Amino acid sequence: MHVSELDTPVLTVDLDVLERTINNMATHCQEIGIDLRVHTKTHKVPEIAKMQVAAGSKGITCQKLGEAEAMVDVGLDDILIPYNIVGKPKLQRLTELVKRAKMTFALDSEETATGISEQANADGVTVRVIIEMDTGSRRCGAQSPQAVLELAQKITKMPGLDFQGIMAYPSNLRAKPFIEETVELLTAAGLPVNIISGGGTGAERNSKEIGCTETRSGSYVYEGMTRISGSETLNPERCALRMIVTVVSTPTAERIIVDGGQKTFTSYPPKPYGHVIEHPDIMIYGMSVEHGHIDVSESSHKFRVGECLSIIPLHQGMTSNLHDELVAVRNGQVEAIWKIAGRGKVR
């Protein structure tokens, strides 16, 4: 099937760009000398995760249990969940995952550790855990090296837990003293630091420089190797994802309407909401729920109803979470249709 035969709106991925980016990141981390642990929350597609592991990733990162379950279902292993797991339903699922695959979980409090310990003890499993540190995200994480040490000492006394190390986000150079002091305190106390996990696409070299053993990178798979703010990041040589849409109305000479709106792309500032590959001089200036509004006043092309356009979404990860399937395309030909197995897995 040619891509032009697909019904729209349809989410597609350019396999040549995807494969090149996956291989480039793997090579980049090998040259730096740090293990890559890819984050799957951007694509949520097991087939892509397998490609990343085949290219050299030591394992994968999944943000939520549901994403991890989808990956384990197809045989993926060595998974880090960098998220506090809280509540009986989730804890029961956590131990079930531990029975099926090599899993590691991040946490930042005694309460979270206690919950995992009690469930692990009840179910007869041992759970690998690391402590998340707040190195500038102002989100989750222990606030000081001393706090990490105190929590680690409590964890080592809890049944069913296997303390493995620490996790930082983001991997900025300001985090180096925090990590160094933490490692020094843990080592002096006789505690293991087998894992020092850093994170952030574009921060791979920082992860190495601040002493991390691995780096978590995810959005690169669709957005390219480094973070670039603004619409200039949406380059077809750099970005693999394309939303194919159809022009459904040409109400004026300056405006056309396509069949993809907020439910297709997601509403995410700033404008424009995406890059039209065939006509980079036109701009998606607005979206309603089911319509994309495009300003074509700067284009000499005469658009017609029924014409298809290929658009790189502004936020590829949020866009992919809205769709059940991803169509893999090479040179205009459909090679595969992949289930976005992790989409909607917010629990």
Q: Residue 195: inside a domain, yes or no?
A: yes
Query: Do both 131 and 208 map to the same domain?
Result: yes
Query: Do both 335 and 211 map to the same domain?
Result: no
Residue 99's pLDDT is: 98
CB atoms under 10 Å from CB of 99, counted, come to: 10
Query: Do both 26 and 79 map to the same domain?
Result: yes
Q: Which residues of 24-56 are buried (b: 16+ CB within 10 A; e: fewer)?
A: ebbebbeebebbbbbbbbbbbbbebbbbbbebb
- How many Å apart are CA 264 and CA 134, to the nearest integer? 34
- How many Å apart are CA 150 and CA 194, to the nearest integer? 18
Over the stretch 278-313, which tens digit does the pLDDT of each residue have? Answer: 999 999 999 999 999 999 999 999 999 999 999 999
Q: Residue 142: inside a domain, yes or no?
A: yes
Q: List beta partners, residue 158.
A: none
Query: Do both 325 and 306 map to the same domain?
Result: yes
- How many Å apart are CA 94 and CA 63, to the nearest integer? 13
- How many Å apart are CA 176 and CA 34, to the nearest integer? 16
Query: Do both 278 and 201 map to the same domain?
Result: no
Q: Residue 319: inside a domain, yes or no?
A: yes
Q: Residue 344: inside a domain, yes or no?
A: no
Confidence (pTM): 0.96
- How many Å apart are CA 133 and CA 147, to the nearest integer? 9
> Could you say which of 202, 223, 244 is where a domain stops?
223
CATH of the domain at 208: 3.20.20.10
> Could you say which of 191, 223, 255 is where a domain stops?
223
- How many Å apart are CA 268 and CA 234, to the nearest integer? 14
Q: Residue 304: inside a domain, yes or no?
A: yes
pLDDT above 90 as % of the chain:
92
- How many Å apart are CA 127 and CA 122, to the nearest integer? 12
Residue 225's pLDDT is: 83
Domain count, the chain: 2
CB atoms under 10 Å from CB of 182, counted, come to: 27
Is residue 334 within 8 A of residue 14, CB to CB? The reply is no
Query: Do both 118 and 233 map to the same domain?
Result: no
Query: Do both 155 and 270 map to the same domain?
Result: no
CA distance to 18, 106, 141, 195, 275, per residue, from 149 (Å): 41, 15, 13, 15, 48
Query: Do both 102 and 145 map to the same domain?
Result: yes
Over the stretch 146-175, which tens digit does the pLDDT of each residue have? Answer: 999 999 999 999 999 999 999 999 999 999
Question: Which tokens sit at 96?
Answer: 């079930």
- How many Å apart are CA 45 and CA 300, to the nearest integer? 39
CB atoms under 10 Å from CB of 259, counted, come to: 18
Residue 238's pLDDT is: 92
- How many Å apart are CA 76 and CA 74, to the nearest integer? 6
Residue 271's pLDDT is: 80
Binned at pLDDT 50, 70 and 90, residue 232 comes out as low
Q: Residue 346: inside a domain, yes or no?
A: no
Terminal alpha carbon distance of the chain: 36
Over the stretch 87-136, which tens digit does the pLDDT of each residue have? Answer: 999 999 999 999 999 999 999 999 999 999 999 999 999 999 999 999 98
SS3 38: strand
Q: Residue 33: inside a domain, yes or no?
A: yes
Query: Do both 24 and 137 map to the same domain?
Result: yes
Residue 269's pLDDT is: 72
The DSSP call for residue 5 is G
Query: Do both 265 and 209 map to the same domain?
Result: no
State which residues form the domain around 33. Answer: 15-223
Query: Do both 188 and 313 map to the same domain?
Result: no
Mean pLDDT taken over the chain: 96
The half-sphere exposure of 80 on its side-chain side, counting CA atoms within 13 A, is: 30
Binned at pLDDT 50, 70 and 90, residue 230 comes out as low
- How many Å apart are CA 186 and CA 95, to the nearest integer? 27
CATH of the domain at 333: 2.40.37.20
- How many Å apart are CA 320 and CA 341, to the nearest integer? 11
Over the stretch 42-99, which tens digit does the pLDDT of each residue have? Answer: 999 999 999 999 999 999 999 999 999 999 999 999 999 999 999 999 999 999 999 9
The DSSP call for residue 232 is G
Residue 229's pLDDT is: 55
Q: Residue 347: inside a domain, yes or no?
A: no
Query: Do both 285 and 209 map to the same domain?
Result: no
> Could you say which of 181, 202, 223 is where a domain stops?
223
